[in-house]
Every structure is written in structure tokens, then in C-alpha cells.
Structure 1
Amino acid sequence: MAVFAGVRAVLFDLDGTLIDSAPDLAAAADTMRASRGLPSLPLDRYRHLAGSGARGMLRAAFDLGPDHVDYEALKAEFLANYMACMTERTLPFAGVAELLSRLVDGGMRWGVVTNKARRFTEPLTQSIRLFETASTIVSGDSTPHAKPHPAPVQEAVRQIGLTAEQCIYVGDDERDIVAGHAAGVRTVAARYGYLGPSADVSSWGAHAVVTSPLQVLQLLDMP
């Protein structure tokens, strides 16, 4: 695995990259099914769509998308449910705590760039202690545009006080890689999150692919 030279900060997507929020997202959607007298679905029916947030959960729960006449009302109901339960089952992926600790110990800064709205991002990250060492957290509504637009990644680079060439961005969705490329940072696709076996990560054009959080360390020139 090639080492990226000159990197001084690592930026991460949130859901599916740093934290496994699928159980809480699924619970919010499954509560909607229960309230309508529908049977509960197993977590596996939701997990692979967790990276798509409300859109993915409503697709899994009710097989409908944004073009459905009831979508906006169902989305509002889902988000209210999720707000009520989002810190109950969500945990960092195995290896993430060690990864972030070793980044900090090695003098590397790190931050988050997520499409999750700030009203969810802030209480969620505040509930998980490891985010105390983050140098920046950019939410989906922190800038006028969300990923795959480069603006959120560019804002994180600005807040962290470095150049794009000094940062890499790690994410588990193609839009992360598209946003990173457009922002001028080097990109890393995370295979360990919600990606199913059929995901064609090689087509995304990421500079590197990792299959575990700790593999990110192998890309960095640090002690």
C-alpha cells in the first residue's frame, strides 16, 4: 500500500466510516412500520442502505423513494424518530478509537465531513467522547452545498488551517470520493462500512482503498 507524502490531516465521513449508526437508523424506520401494523424487519434489511440516511431507510422500510407523494411526510416522521433514538445503539466501528488516538499521538489532525444535518451531527458527536479531539466537524448544512459538491470538504480544509494537498478524505460512498477529488484532496474508499459485496469501489477513482480503519495508518508517513 503506497504512502501519501506530506499529509498532515485526515478527514472522515461519519456514518459508515467512523460510526456504525445503522442500528439507530433502522430502529427509527422500524418504529414507523410497527405503528402501521407491519412486521419488524431484521437489521440486515436496513444496514446496506444506512449510508443514504432517511432516503435509504424509507426505501428499506416501505420500498418508496423521493418521488412518492407521501415521501416528505414520511421523511419528517422518520427524522423525528431518529432524533429521539440516535444515541442509543450507535458506536464507533472496531479500530476507530485506536486509529484516532494514534493520529493524535502522531501529531496528525483529523476531522469530519458528513452530509448529516447539524441538528443530528452535534448531539451525536457530543455523545461519543472520541470526537473531543476532532479539529473540525462539517455537517451537511454547514455550507450551501452537500457532498458530492466539494464545498464541505473545502470548508473542513479551511477550518483545519491546511492546504488540500496536506489532507486526505476517507469515506464509504462514491459521493465522498467525488467531493474529495473536486476539492483537491487525496481520497480513500472505506470498504468496511455499509458497502455490500456488489459495490464496485474500483470504479470510484479513489487514490486508495482500505478494508479496516487501522489500514488508514499504512497510508501515512508518521511515526
Structure 2
Amino acid sequence: MKALIFDFDGTLANTLPVCFYAFQTVFNRYDERDLTDDEIKEMFGPSETGIIRENLSHADKDQAIELFYEKYSDSHRRLVDSNEEIIDLLTYVKDKGIKLGIFTGKARRSLKISLQELEMDGMFDVIITGDDVTNPKPHPEGLQKALTQLGVAENEAMFIGDSNADIEAGLAANVHTVAVQWLPDYQTAEFDSKPDSIYKSVNQFIESLDHRT
């Protein structure tokens, strides 16, 4: 295994609470709609800007997008805890000489906020965001771009995610596809498509890597 590519929200960081809060603030203020977490999950796929542009009725979408990023940034430290197990995992992978990547539906702007807040900035060899693809997950376009930029073959890479869209994208890209439920908040409890493997703890995943590298 030469490369590990991770989803971000719900996989590398428990950022779903801050995503929900920022979206709920936007839709309440501009559309006077009180959305549940599950209703917001149903919108996932495009980047945050795409979600607002596609789902907000209010005409001033640019201002709503700015409010989203304001709330996301201001509330990040309050709603998102750093996870030492995840940092240890990333450090372990880098020390093994395995390349690290991110393929996320997030916009680059919000991902940058999270990476800086969680002290993950500079740890990844490639980052593909929702801004970088024409076709969002479950389409494999983002994974295919990541593989090309990393210079690794399909059978040399692994994609790790927490949602149905992640699993479908990984399987469509013909990479080893891992489902994880190791953070307090994750997107999918039961996967529609069967991943190659599933892990409920970071340590269990690290042990499996020992047998592959």
C-alpha cells in the first residue's frame, strides 16, 4: 500500500457538529427554516457553497455563504475537538513512507480552516476538495485525480470514509475501500454498498496496516 486517501468530515475530524451549526444558522436566518441534522445530511454531496446555492431560496446567496464561513470559523474551536488518535494515525502513516491524501466534498476554504485549527496543515501530499471536481461523490473523479497526482496505481491505494457516497466512490475507483465509524459523529450507520473492510476504532485500523505494509 503506497497511499492512503481519506475523506475529512466524520473521518479525520468530528466536524459534523460545526457543519450542522453553520448550515442551520444560514437557513434559519435567510429562509426562516429550522433544519435538523438529518435534513442537512440529505444535502451533502456538493461543497458547502454548492449546498447553499442549490438549496437556499433566498436571493442573496453570496451573503449567506459568507455567514456560513463566519459561523464555521468562529465556532470551530468550541464545537470540534482535536483527536490525538487521528494525529497519531497520520504520523504513523507518514513515518511508514506511505503517501497521504484527502478527497472531500468540502470546499477548500472550510477545509483550510479545519486543517489549521486541528494542526493538520501540511501533512498531506494531495488534497482534492469539492471545488476541484465537476462530479461530486459518489462519482470517483476526485479519487482518480488524487491517484494521478500521487502517482500511484489503483491497487496501491486505499480510500477511507464514513458515508455511503465515500464507499461508492472508492469502489467505483477500484481502490481498497474502507468504511470507518471511529468518531462520535459519522454520516452512515448502515452502508448500502459493501466496503472491503470496516473499522470502529483507529487502533484496529493501525493494526491492519501493519499487515499490509
- In the superposition, the TM-score normalised over structure 2's length comes to 0.77
Could you tell me how far 1:53 is from its partner in structure 2? 4.6
Could you tell me how far 1:50 is from its partner in structure 2? 5.3
Note the alpha carbon deviations across 1:121-160, whole angstroms, 9 max, x for none.
2343244322322111100121222111111001111111
Match of 2:16 in 1: 22
Note the alpha carbon deviations across 1:60-107, whole angstroms, 9 max, x for none.
xxxxxx6x7x54658766533221132423344451111111111122
Equivalent residues in 2 for 1:80-95, closer than 5 Å:
80-87=66-73, 88-89=76-77, 90-93=80-83, 95=85
Alignment RMSD, CA only?
Answer: 3.3
Structure 1 contact 21–86 (Cα < 8 Å) conserved: no
Q: Distance in 2 between matches of 1:186 and 1:162?
A: 13
Could you tell me how far 1:208 is from its partner in structure 2? 0.3
- Of 128, 136, 147 in structure 1, the residue corresponding to residue 137 of structure 2 is 147
The letter for the 1-side match of 2:20 is A
Alignment gaps of 5+ in structure 2: 49-53
Q: Distance in 2 between matches of 1:186 and 1:95?
A: 22
Match of 2:121 in 1: 131
Match of 1:208 in 2: 197
Could you tell me how far 1:32 is from its partner in structure 2? 4.4
Could you tell me how far 1:190 is from its partner in structure 2? 1.1
Q: Distance in 1 between matches of 2:95 and 2:42?
A: 30
Alignment gaps of 5+ in structure 1: 1-6, 58-65
Note the alpha carbon deviations across 1:155-198, whole angstroms, 9 max, x for none.
111111111110000001111111111111010011234347x8
Equivalent residues in 2 for 1:62-77, closer than 5 Å:
70-71=56-57, 73=59
The letter for the 1-side match of 2:127 is I
Structure 1 pair 102–13 and aligned structure 2 pair: CA distance change class (3 A)? same
Structure 2 contact 45–136 (Cα < 8 Å) conserved: no
How many residues of Structure 1 are paired with residues of Structure 2 in the alignment?
200
Percent identical residues: 26
Structure 1 contact 111–136 (Cα < 8 Å) conserved: yes
Q: Distance in 2 between matches of 1:28 and 1:95?
A: 26
Match of 2:151 in 1: 161
Q: Does 1:79 align with 2:65?
A: yes
- In the superposition, the TM-score normalised over structure 1's length comes to 0.74
Structure 1 contact 28–78 (Cα < 8 Å) conserved: no
Structure 1 contact 13–170 (Cα < 8 Å) conserved: yes
The letter for the 2-side match of 1:12 is F
Structure 1 pair 195–160 and aligned structure 2 pair: CA distance change class (3 A)? same
